[in-house]
Structure formats: C-alpha cells, structure tokens
Amino acid sequence: MRADTRGRLAKAALLAGALQGCAHLRPEDFARGTVEVACCGHADQPVELHFLGVAGWLIRKGSTAVLTAPLFSNPGFLRTGLQQIDPDPDRIERHLPDVEDVTAILVGHGHYDHLMDVPYIVDRRAPQAVVFGNRTVGHQLAPFGLRGGAVYEVREEETADLEHPGRWIPAGPGVRVLPLRSDHAPHFAGIVLYGGDRHTDMSEVPASANEWLEGETVAWLIDLLNADGTVALRIYFQDAVAAAPYGLVPPPEVLGDSVRVDVALIVPATYAEVDWHPEALLESANPRHVLLCHWEDFFQPPSLPAEPVPFTRLPEFVERLRRALPEGTGWHLPLPGTRFLFR
C-alpha cells in the first residue's frame, strides 16, 4: 500500500475513533422500497439490484440475471452452535423471488450462511443456474446430487489480485465474472469459525454449522455487458470482510482496462477485526456508489424486522464509511427487500 494511502487511511481511522460512542442510526438512514440511483449512465438498459438479505442480491439487466448466494433459513444462535441445521423450504419459498432465469449464483466462501440454502434453490427454483465458488464449495455440494455442470470450481489461475489479472469467466448471456483473492476476517477475538479447506467430495450432506467449511474466500467483480460487448455496469461484491491486501480491486494496469467500479456491495459484519475496512477497499475500488449487505442479524427469521448482526457496531462503521467515501460517491444501507434501479 502506498505511503500517501496509508496516511489518508490513518487519518480516517483516527477520526472514526473520535466518533465512537456518539454515532447512531436513525430510521431514515435505512433504504427501503424502490430507490432510483443516477450514478451510472453507460448501460443500454436499466439495471436492478434487489437486496434479499444477508449477502443475497438478485441482479438483473434485461434478460441477464445473476444471484449472489442468499440465506433465508436463518437457524437460531443456539441451534447453529449446538445442533444440526438444514434448509427451511417454507422460508425459502416465502422470501425468494422468481429466479428461474438466473444463470449464475456467486458464492464467496463455503460457510453455511452463504451455501446451505443454495442446493435447494438450484434444484427447485433456478434450473439454469451454475454455482461459482471455491473448491471447498464444490466438495460440500457434491452429496446433494445437483445436475451435471451445476457447479463451477474456481481455479487458482483464474483468481486475480493486486499483481495478477486472473481470468474473466463467462457466466451467462450478457455477464462475466472475475474472482478476486480474498480472505475471511475473524468472527471475534482473532478467531475464524469453521475455517479450513476440503480436498475431496463429502459423502453425506453437511449436518451442522462446523461441517460447512470456508475454503479459500474470494470476492467478485461482476460485469454486466451491453449488446455491443461494452461494460454496462461493473459491480464489486464481497460476502466477508477481508484485511488488505486481500479482497482489493486490482489497479487498471493489472486488470488491463480502466473501467471503474460502479457499485460496491460491502460487508460491515466483523469489520472491527481487521485494519482499514472499509477505507482500504474504497481506496482500491473507487466506486461510484456503495450498498451495504450482510449487516443484519441472520440468527432471527427473515420475517422479523431487521436488526444489526450481534457484535458489530454498525453506527461506527457507517460513520467511517461516510468519511472514507470518494468525493461524489453515494451510499445506502438497505433493508431486505429493497430494490435499487440504476438507469
């Protein structure tokens, strides 16, 4: 990281520290309903980002549809820690919109809150979808008997970082994706729960939270394409906080293009366990707009009013975000169900 960048980040962190204890969120700080965003003018059709809760987003442009792995089953805290957990079909059916045309489901890592509901969705609701994830994700999906070709395991040479361009992967009509080398912040006190990799297929369906292992976490760049092949909207997506340099967007000279990130989908949960989040990510991505996700308590049913996830000081994160945003960049903290229209 450059010295001038470190200096700006240090000033932002010191300012954020001075604000601790006085930050608070008001009802008007939360986005809901349908929100129109006029930050990006190079798409030949409107783009919709529908926040489904946790790290789930349904992204649409014309006939293009991409899903980031949602969670609706939301087993309770004690059950997750002590008992078996499994998908709740009733909750999934109640909250999942029509995803029959989805061609890609993007998964950043293999924990249950990002992967447990995916097999049901692929099998029952998204017949065209291919799940993109790390090799551990693939090994954990093996016992579900999904149709052939329904899982794409990201390879090392396809993964980009600050020095390597990786490889863009076609993910359906009008969309390509680029995996970015990332990481998973500790959940608390420097401890990452359910870490580790799998090297062979599981023979039985994972039955408890500690059987859904992380694997090698990735973030994603998602390019929605115009009819002429140009980039209509570039989206950055993470489903776990990462300490820099993990999860950062490669510079233009590495990516091989100068396309700016239009929308960054950023996670607040566990941000205090690493340094410089969100400052380092915003510095590298330089997005035109920021949307927060995976901020709410996923141990309670999605039918209840959303509350911040335990152990995350959400108001303090929001204050840091506000002060680190590039000039002219907007942001929203959405309630589940909020739709954003980019025209």
User: Which of 215, 326, 327 lies closest to 281, judged by CA?
Assistant: 326
Kindly state the average pLDDT of the residues 183-194. 91
CATH 3.40.50.2300 is held by the domain 3-9+35-327: no
Angstrom distance (rounded) from CA 245 to CA 268 = 17
Range scoring the smallest mean pLDDT among 15-19, 51-55, 152-156: 15-19
pLDDT of the residue at 26 = 81
Looking at residue 264, its amino acid is: A
Kindly state the average pLDDT of the residues 100-128. 98
The bridge status of strand 231-237 relative to strand 218-225 is antiparallel
**DSSP letter for each residue of 79-114:** HHHHS-----HHHHHHH----TT--EEE-S--SHHH
Angstrom distance (rounded) from CA 231 to CA 223 = 6
The one-character DSSP state at 277 is T
Q: What is the pLDDT of residues 68-103, one digit of tens each?
A: 999 999 999 999 999 999 999 999 999 999 999 999
The one-character DSSP state at 275 is S
Give yes or no for residue 177 having a pLDDT over 60. Answer: yes
34's CB contacts (< 8 A; 6+ apart) are 338, 339, 340, 341
CB 67 within 8 A of CB 111: no
- Mean pLDDT score across all residues of the chain: 92
CB 71 within 8 A of CB 91: no
Q: pLDDT class for 288, splitting at 50, 70, 90?
A: very high
Angstrom distance (rounded) from CA 302 to CA 285 = 31
The bridge status of strand 130-133 relative to strand 104-106 is parallel
Sheet holding 47-53, edge to edge: 34-37, 339-342, 47-53, 56-61, 64-68, 104-106, 130-133, 151-153
Domain ranges of the chain: 3-9+35-327
Distances (CA, A) of 11 to 4, 39, 235, 255: 11, 27, 28, 29
Of all residues in the chain, the percent with pLDDT exceeding 70 is 93
- H/E stretch holding 194 reads none
CB 330 within 8 A of CB 27: no
Q: pLDDT class for 41, splitting at 50, 70, 90?
A: low
Helix residue ranges per DSSP H, the chain:
3-19, 77-82, 89-95, 112-115, 118-124, 135-141, 252-255, 279-285, 314-324
pLDDT of the residue at 311 = 85
> What is the gyration radius of the CA atoms in the chain, in angstroms?
19
Range scoring the smallest mean pLDDT among 23-27, 237-241, 251-255: 23-27
User: Which of 118, 138, 117 lies closest to 75, judged by CA?
Assistant: 117
Please give the backbone phi and psi of residue 140, each rounded to the nearest 5 degrees, phi first.
-80, -20
pLDDT of the residue at 146 = 97
Kindly state the average pLDDT of the residues 287-316. 95
Angstrom distance (rounded) from CA 178 to CA 160 = 7
Looking at residue 104, its amino acid is: A
Give yes or no for residue 329 having a pLDDT over 80. Answer: yes
Location of structure tokens 């600050």: 162
158's CB contacts (< 8 A; 6+ apart) are 166, 167, 169, 179
Kindly state the average pLDDT of the residues 117-137. 98
